[in-house]
């Protein structure tokens, strides 16, 4: 009789924590624009040219020319430019996939910047279908069906990207230690608008501050308070890409009641002030949210 292997508790933990946000996209948009300035975005960028050639420059990697049937895939936190010098048509999606609220899922993978062949075609169809699903405005019980459709398409898009990527090596003990940090991840995500002390985080996992600092940095790759600051800045990036809050309000949302201190921290993280960043992102993404036109930008 075959014995069924017990599932590791880490998998349900990851499933519960996995989330996604659709931050913009387009389907079959006319596109023609000069190469943008360098940009550093807090979400995954997927661009699929359907007509014409799409250009992207990746810092330290060179220039890519993406053609119909291929997909440009740029994970969060990668410096890049984009451009389409001649008129064409693109479909694209900007999506943030996260674990534990603020940890980018794709940080665990080596993601190819250009996806070709069947995989590239599959990504195009998913990008188009996801945009259509996100544009629908269902009411009543239909909203439940649409929520299921959106969840399915987002999961399939992430799966399509992961399937052409290589998983970075992690030791078993590192996986276990990451499981231990669930309460820390949740606490940080829920308290970004408040002061957070390393001692409080260490108490959550019953470790001394020194031991907690060592374990956290080894498993996550950054020190605990650097992780907190990164989480604050990532949330600030997301909020700055939306026009609903003032910069002062955004600072308060991410734990900086003093706008000067917020601006200083943001500039240290990204090399530009929150106001400059908002203007740059607005200029770069403005055409994205326009119905259609020759200036549309992925």
Of 122, 148, 168, the residue at which a domain comes to its end is 168
Of 138, 168, 198, the residue at which a domain comes to its end is 168
Q: With beta carbons less than 8 A apart as the criterion, state whether 48 and 123 touch.
A: yes
Q: What is the largest CA-CA distance in the chain?
A: 67
Q: Are residues 120 and 248 in the same domain?
A: no
Q: Are residues 58 and 124 in the same domain?
A: yes
For the chain, which residues score pLDDT lower than 70?
Answer: 1-10, 101, 170-175, 284-298
Of 116, 150, 168, the residue at which a domain comes to its end is 168
Q: Are residues 207 and 240 in the same domain?
A: yes
Is residue 294 included in any domain, yes or no?
no
Q: Are residues 157 and 194 in the same domain?
A: no
Name all contacts of 255-259 with Cβ < 8 Å and 24+ positions apart: 255/192, 255/193, 255/194, 255/195, 255/196, 256/232
Q: Are residues 79 and 188 in the same domain?
A: no
**Model confidence pTM above 0.85:** no
Tens of pLDDT, residues 229-253: 988 998 998 899 888 899 999 999 9
pLDDT of residue 294: 43
For residues 155 and 119, give the distance between their C-alpha atoms in angstroms, rounded to a whole number: 15
Q: Are residues 75 and 123 in the same domain?
A: yes
For residues 126 and 48, give the distance between their C-alpha atoms in angstroms, rounded to a whole number: 10
Look up the CATH number of the domain holding residue 277.
1.10.10.60
Q: Are residues 250 and 108 in the same domain?
A: no
Residues of the domain holding 132? 10-168
pLDDT of residue 166: 93
**How many domains does the structure of the chain reveal?**
2
Q: Are residues 68 and 148 in the same domain?
A: yes
Is residue 18 included in any domain, yes or no?
yes
Is residue 297 included in any domain, yes or no?
no
Look up the CATH number of the domain holding residue 137.
2.60.120.10
For residues 193 and 257, give the distance between their C-alpha atoms in angstroms, rounded to a whole number: 9
Q: With beta carbons less than 8 A apart as the criterion, state whether 192 and 235 touch.
A: yes
Is residue 24 included in any domain, yes or no?
yes
DSSP state of 227: H
Q: Are residues 122 and 29 in the same domain?
A: yes
Q: The tokens of 105 are what?
A: 């899922």
Q: Are residues 267 and 196 in the same domain?
A: yes
pLDDT of residue 100: 74
Is residue 115 included in any domain, yes or no?
yes
Task: Report the first-to-last Cα separation within the chain, whole angstroms.
Answer: 55
Q: Are residues 194 and 143 in the same domain?
A: no
Q: Are residues 141 and 179 in the same domain?
A: no
Is residue 84 included in any domain, yes or no?
yes
Is residue 158 included in any domain, yes or no?
yes
């Amino acid at each position: 009789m075959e014995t069924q292997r017990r599932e590791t508790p880490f998998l349900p933990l990851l499933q519960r924590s996995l989330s996604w946000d659709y931050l913009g996209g387009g389907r079959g948009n006319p596109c023609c624009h000069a190469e943008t300035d360098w940009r550093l975005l807090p979400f995954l960028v997927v661009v699929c040219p359907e007509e014409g050639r799409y250009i992207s420059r990746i810092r330290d990697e060179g220039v890519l020319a993406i053609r119909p049937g291929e997909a440009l895939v740029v994970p969060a936190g990668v410096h890049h430019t984009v451009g389409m010098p001649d008129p064409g048509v693109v479909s694209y999606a900007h999506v943030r996939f996260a674990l534990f609220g603020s940890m980018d899922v794709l940080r665990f993978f080596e993601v190819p910047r250009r996806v070709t062949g069947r995989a590239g075609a599959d990504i195009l169809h998913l990008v188009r279908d996801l945009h259509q699903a996100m544009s629908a405005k269902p009411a009543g019980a239909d909203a439940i069906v649409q929520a299921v459709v959106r969840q399915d398409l987002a999961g399939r898009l992430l799966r399509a990207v992961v399937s052409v990527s290589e998983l970075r090596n992690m030791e078993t003990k590192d996986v276990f230690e990451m499981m231990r940090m669930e309460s820390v991840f949740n606490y940080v995500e829920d308290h970004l608008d408040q002061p957070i002390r390393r001692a409080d985080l260490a108490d959550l996992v019953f470790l001394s501050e020194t031991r907690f600092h060592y374990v956290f940095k080894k498993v996550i790759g950054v020190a605990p308070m650097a992780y907190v600051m990164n989480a604050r800045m990532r949330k600030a990036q997301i909020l700055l890409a939306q026009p609903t809050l003032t910069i002062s309000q955004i600072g308060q949302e991410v734990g900086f009641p003093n706008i000067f201190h917020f601006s200083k921290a943001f500039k240290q993280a990204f090399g530009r002030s929150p106001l400059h960043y908002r203007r740059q992102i607005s200029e770069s993404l403005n055409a994205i949210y326009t119905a259609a036109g020759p200036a549309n930008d992925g």
